[in-house]
Amino acid sequence: MEQDPAIRIKGLLTQFGSNVIHKDLDLNVRRGEILGLVGGSGSGKSVLMNTIIGLRRPNAGSIEVLGQNVDQANSATLKWLSSRWGVLFQDGALFSSLTVRQNVEVPLKTHTELSEHACAELAEIKVGLAGLPPDAAHKYPSELSGGMRKRAGLARALALDPDILFLDEPTAGLDPIGAASFDSLVQELQRALGLTILMVTHDMDSLYTVCDRVAVLLDRRIKVGTIAELMEDSHPWIAEYFGGPRGRAAADARRRVTDGRKT
C-alpha cells in the first residue's frame, strides 16, 4: 500500500458568493515529491494554496495535511502543523522591521526553546542554504533585491526544517539565470532535507527541471500526472499549455540537458 500522502484533499468546494472556484476537487500530494501547480489566471491556484495552509476555510470538503484535518484542527494541532510546514509567499512577505536573520529566527523562537546563540547560528545556516551571501543576514528587506527577498523568504520557510514547503511562484520576476539557480536550489534542498514541495508556478523550465508531477487546475478540478502523461491528455487547454511554443522550448531545453548528461 502506498504511504500516507503528505496532503490529501477530498471534495473541496470553494466559492466567493455565487462564483464557484473549486468543485469536487481531489488531490493527493505524495511524501517527498515536488508537485507543480499550474492553471490559467484566475483559476484559483493561490486560493487553493491559501486553503491548504488554513488561511481560508473551505466551503465544503476536507483537507488533511500530514494526517491532520486543517479545517477542524484545534489550536495545538494548528501550532504543530505550522511548525511542520514552511510557506514562501510571492514577494517573500518578510517582516519589514526585522533584518533577514531576525526574520529567520522568528519561527525558531516561536516554536522552540533554543538559546539565543543557537537560534542565531541556525538562522545563519538557513540564510546560507538559501544561497544568500553571509553579509545579507544583517540587511533589512528593503535593502534587498527581489531575488534576494525570495531567497530570504525561503530561508524563513526552511527555518524549522519543515516536512512540507509551499512555494507561491518562486521564480516569477527573477531573471532566467536567477530563476535557474533558484530551481536547482529547491531541488538540492529537497534532496538534502527530504522535503515535500507544492509549488505554484508558471515557469515552464521549473516544471520540466524540478517537478516530479504537475497538477493542472482546470474547470474547477485538478488533473495530476507527470508531464509526459499530461501531454497525452486531450483537453485543449493542457495541449495548448504544454504543446505551445513556450512548452516546446522548455521541453527541448530539458532534452538537451539530459542528453548532454548521458554522453
Partner 1 sequence: MATAGREAAARLTTDRDGSQLRLLFAGSWTTANLADREAELDGTLNRRALAGVERAVLSLDQVTHFDTAGAWATLRTARRLRDAGVEVAIEGAGADRQRLLEAVEQTEPAPSPPRGLRFPLSFLANLGKLTLTLGADARALTGFLGLTTLVFLRALLRPSRIRFTSLIHHMQKTGVDSLPIVGLLAFLIGVVLAYQGADQLARFGAQIYTVNLLGISVLREMGILITAIIVAGRSGSAFTAQIGTMKVNQEIDAMRTIGLDPVEVLVLPRALALVLVMPLLTFYANIMAILGGGLMVWVLLGIDPAAFVRQLHQSLNVEALLVGMIKAPVFAFVIGLVGCFEGLRTGGNAESVGTQTTRAVVEAIFLVIVLDAFFSVFFSVIGV
Kindly state the smallest distance separating residue 204's Cβ from partner 1, in Å.
27
Kindly state the smallest distance separating residue 143's Cβ from partner 1, in Å.
12
Q: Is 164 a binder of partner 1 (CB under 8 A)?
A: no
Kindly state the smallest distance separating residue 79's Cβ from partner 1, in Å.
8
Kindly state the smallest distance separating residue 214's Cβ from partner 1, in Å.
25
Q: Is 135 a binder of partner 1 (CB under 8 A)?
A: yes
> Across the beta sheet with 34-39, what order do the strands follow?
85-88, 164-168, 196-200, 34-39, 213-218, 221-225
All three cell numbers of 25: 476537487
Cα distance between residue 117 and residue 13, in whole Å:
46
Binding to partner 1 in span 48-77, by CB under 8 A: 66-68, 76-77
> Which one of 5-13, 111-119, 174-182, 202-210 is the stretch in contact with partner 1 (CB under 8 A)?
111-119
Cα distance between residue 70 and residue 64, in whole Å:
6
- The terminus-to-terminus CA distance of the chain in angstroms comes to 38
Instruction: Give the β-pairing of 60-65 and 164-168.
Output: unpaired
Site string for partner 1, 71-110 (x = CB under 8 A): -----xx-xx--x------------x--x-x------x--
Q: Residue with C-alpha cell 546560507?
A: 128
Binding to partner 1 in span 184-223, by CB under 8 A: 188, 191-194
* Contact in structure between 207 and 227 (CB atoms under 8 Å): yes
Cα distance between residue 159 and residue 196, in whole Å:
15
List residues near partner 1 by CB under 8 A: 66-68, 76-77, 79-80, 83, 96, 99, 101, 108, 111-115, 118, 121-122, 124-129, 134-138, 142, 158-161, 188, 191-194
